[in-house]
Amino acid sequence: MSVSYRQPGVVLTDRRFTVPLDHDDPAGETIELYAREAVASDKADRDLPWLVYLQGGPGFGANRFVGRPAWLGRALEEYRVLLLDQRGTGASTPANRQTLPLRGGPAEQADHLALFRSDSIVRDCEAIRPQVTGGAPWTVLGQSFGGFCTVAYLSLAPEGLSTALVTGGLPSLDAHADDVYRAAYPRVERKVAAHYARYPQDVERVRRIAEHLLTHDVVLPSGYRLTVEAFQSLGILLGSGDGSHRLHFLLEDAFVRTPSGAELSDAFQEQVQGLLSFAGHPLYALVHEAIYAQDERPTAWSAERVRAEFPRFDAAKALAGDEPVLLTGETIHPWMFDCDPALRPLRETAELLAARTGWTPLYDPARLAANEVPAAAAVYHDDMYVETTHALATARSIRGLRTWVTDEFEHDGVRAGGPRVLDRLLALVRDET
């Protein structure tokens, strides 16, 4: 039963759908998808076209907006919007340390999670679209990993789309995860250098924290073991528009004086565990590298292996000399499944996914080259999370896709830019700019 309610300027309706767990076995087990329908209060009775929003991730539910912020206000000027919690996320049937044991042991859990990639998400969208639109095609707006899903949508079911919009999420069509991370580490180093140039006092602050973690066993109140590598992973903040400033404020009061000497403050530890914990989005860690897998090769903890090719990220070596300690970015490592209590029970499952071979292709280059769906993409210059050269190569491979390349925003431009990013993409697909 659908339930509707109001927020300022918007009417929201909870929607629930049943879809096959494995779309190749439509008569088999099913899972539930949750989505929130949003429509402008003054348009609630109108027959409007639909826009489905695919959140970044993988592993995050759709934004829980209050009112009409960011891009949503612009979308509600002309669309009904469906904010979809992709399978396994948000209020959809969950996949986490508490529920995955219902599948069986690690091998069964890994087989289950192999069904949580972009191809399954696209097929979910096609399964629910007739119930939502009455069969009419809809517009898709994909942010980050949602953009990966959008390109998969154009490959697998373009007939379901009237328009395709991508922000910060054009994937390589054929790069292995190793290629992705070899391109990523130099970008991350540039972002860290830019942060240190903006806040030079943070060079010494990061060194001091890293040295403390190398000589002390620090366990956060949640049970998260804060190693120096875990601390370095806070560099993921630098991929967002305000992330450098947030990181600076986090670092400035890291220590407090105690009877036994300087210790990391409770306030610092509380903030850090909130930033590092995967309790709310375990799929991000479990299937992150699998979103790049498309052939016989395993991902085999790609980010960890490739990191060894960039020794400047070794904190101990940096501390032994006078080099700044580099932070890392959007990478998943096996040690995370030791440090994080939300991931520890899933370590063997993660190992099996990392070793998995025979991944199916996610994109169809021939179909993309013949694309007829109006499409546009915002490509953020030197995006920390998505390699620009990979994104532009893919843009050239999708017939008719128009790009807006900008350095005005970081990866979160669709949030930070208010209505401007969506407005620009719609103008591009409508030949209004």
Annotated catalytic residues are: 144, 383, 411
Tokens standing for 237? 């903040």
Q: Cα angle at 209 between 207 and 215, to 5 degrees? A: 100
DSSP β-bridge partners for residue 239 = none
Q: What region, left, alpha or beta, does residue 407 occupy, with left being phi > 0 and alpha being psi -120 to 50 degrees?
A: alpha
Tokens 């959008």 belong to 150
Question: How many other CB atoms are found less than 10 A from the CB of residue 205?
Answer: 18
Tokens 């390349």 belong to 405
Alpha-carbon distance of 416 to 163, in angstroms, equals 23
Alpha-carbon distance of 149 to 171, in angstroms, equals 9
* CA–centroid distance for 286 within its chain: 12
Look at strands 80-85 and 30-40 and give their pairing.
Answer: antiparallel
Alpha-carbon distance of 6 to 367, in angstroms, equals 42
Cβ–Cβ under 8 Å, residues 324 and 199? no
Alpha-carbon distance of 374 to 5, in angstroms, equals 33
DSSP element (H, E) containing 83: strand 80-85
Cβ–Cβ under 8 Å, residues 141 and 167? yes
Q: How many CA atoms lie within 13 A of 404 on its CB side?
A: 24
- Closest among 48, 53, 47 to 70, alpha carbons compared: 53
Cβ–Cβ under 8 Å, residues 78 and 48? yes
The string of DSSP letters for 106-124 reads HHHHHHHHTT-SHHHHHHH
9 CB-near residues (< 8 Å, 6+ apart): 40, 41, 67, 68, 73, 76
Question: How many other CB atoms are found less than 10 A from the CB of residue 225?
Answer: 15
